[in-house]
Amino acid sequence: MENSTGCKHQSQLLAELARTQELVVQLEAHLDQHSPIESCKSLSSNILLSIEKLIHIAGLSTSEAKQLLPFPNTVPQDPLLQSANKNASAANFNSVFHRNCNYLSKKRKTLPKKKIQVRVGSGGVAAALDDGYSWRKYGNKNILGSKHSRSYYRCRDRNTKRCFATKQVQRSDEDPQAFDVIYHGTHTCRRGLQMPTTTSVSEQARRQNQANRRLHNDHPVQQQNKDLLMDLDAHESCISSQLGSVTAEAMLPESIHGGYSSQPSLPDNCCCFGGSPAISELIDVSGSPTQLCVSEAGLEPLTSGSFVSDSLTPPNSAVDADITLLELDTQFGEFLVSCSNLLYTM
């Protein structure tokens, strides 16, 4: 890449990143002060615009990096990757690239991975595990020393959109009600963020409740001879939008309030809303855990160590606003750190 062009793009990226960071700081301040939701929405819109700009700028400057990619058409949408691609020498880039998306390796032991533990609530495993993304199971393996087999999933858009995100789901040995979910890579597709265009959130919740009733009453277990995980396919926790390296899509408001998936293979109840509370522990394998509650309101940060029982009543409307603010606070707190990291990296 021509140096002058590269410098220009880099300075543009830096400026836009700084602007995004500033917006996030402002949003955090609003959240701290419990400002009106309209203010937060306005700020989040500006943040989204900045992110789109970042992606665009980064996209302009990745021609060199693209040549290094194993798949020429695979342009990671992750701005972290794109900015890294632009600046890195071939050697550095390889390091960064393999750290972020080790597409080719069959062995993924050294991949950065995010592990969460999802506990089954009264809404069933489906509600607890739904992350809005669409997964396809490609393998199942008995793991030495584990009571339960591990299931391997990959994004359904692997071929169509070159999305190489994968995950592993395994029932916990200690707690049969808990599932360990390990995510590898980040989604370059945007499937999981497809939102209903004409259906309101409340309508979605109503439909899910209906679907849940159908599932539990009208159509009692039809696949008893199948492993439970089979039923879980494509019903992941909406938490996954928080996982992996921070991407623009992970910051979209949709993902904050829970992913929504409209793929035809999923039943109506695959949306996060309306599911009964379940508890998840979000663990960055290389970092400290964040505890989250998957509730009707989406993700609710919790204090360490407290699991909510199945009998917990869903949050009422009076506390929904606070929960939403907490979600935003958590999300953008992480985003802020990522912005700082990006600036530092550059």
Partner DNA sequence: CCGATTTGACCGAG
Partner DNA sequence: CTCGGTCAAATCGG
Query: Rounded to an integer, what distance in angstroms lies between the CA atom of residue 253 and that of residue 234?
Result: 21
Position 98 contacts DNA (CB under 7 A): no
Site string for DNA, 253-272 (x = CB under 7 A): ------------x-------
Judged by CB under 7 A, the number of residues near DNA is 33
Asked if residue 21 lies in contact with residue 339, where contact means CB atoms within 8 angstroms, the answer is yes
- The binder of DNA chosen from 11, 140, 309, 340 (CB under 7 A): 140
- Token digits for 299? 């993700």
Q: How far is the CB of 221 from DNA (least distance, A)?
A: 11
Q: How far is the CB of 98 from DNA (least distance, A)?
A: 12
Q: Is the dihedral of CA 92, 97, 100, 102 positive or negative?
A: negative
Give first-to-last CA distance, the chain, whole Å: 16
Q: Return the range that interacts with DNA (CB under 7 A); candidates 15-23, 42-50, 84-92, 151-159.
A: 151-159
- The binder of DNA chosen from 4, 72, 106, 287 (CB under 7 A): 106
Position 110 contacts DNA (CB under 7 A): yes
Q: Return the range that interacts with DNA (CB under 7 A); candidates 37-45, 48-56, 227-235, 310-318.
A: 227-235
Element (H, E) at 52: helix 37-60
SS3 at position 244? coil
Question: Which 3-state string (H, E, C) describes 302-325?
Answer: CCCCCCCCCCCCCCCHHHHHHHHH
Position 162 contacts DNA (CB under 7 A): no
- The binder of DNA chosen from 7, 15, 92, 139 (CB under 7 A): 139
Q: How far is the CB of 285 from DNA (least distance, A)?
A: 12
- Token digits for 49? 């615009």
Q: How far is the CB of 330 from DNA (least distance, A)?
A: 28
| Residue placing its CB nearer to DNA in the complex, 8 or 136 | 136
Asked if residue 204 lies in contact with residue 132, where contact means CB atoms within 8 angstroms, the answer is no
Position 136 contacts DNA (CB under 7 A): yes
- The binder of DNA chosen from 41, 227, 319, 337 (CB under 7 A): 227
Q: Kindly tell me the number of DSSP H helices and DSSP E strands found in the chain.
A: 10, 8
33: DSSP letter: T
| Phi, psi angle pair for 118, to nearest 5° | -110, 125
Position 92 contacts DNA (CB under 7 A): no
- Token digits for 345? 């990296």
Strand ranges in 94-206 using DSSP code E only, listed in sequence order: 113-119, 135-141, 150-155, 166-171, 178-184
| Residue placing its CB nearer to DNA in the complex, 236 or 334 | 236
| Residue placing its CB nearer to DNA in the complex, 89 or 219 | 219
**Nearest C-alpha neighbor of 157 from the set 49, 249, 258:** 249
Q: How far is the CB of 226 from DNA (least distance, A)?
A: 5
Position 285 contacts DNA (CB under 7 A): no
Position 137 contacts DNA (CB under 7 A): yes
Query: Rounded to an integer, what distance in angstroms lies between the CA atom of residue 10 and that of residue 83?
Result: 8
Position 233 contacts DNA (CB under 7 A): yes
Position 207 contacts DNA (CB under 7 A): no
Binding site for DNA (CB under 7 A): 105-110, 136-145, 150-152, 154, 156, 166, 168, 184, 222-223, 226-227, 229-230, 233-234, 265
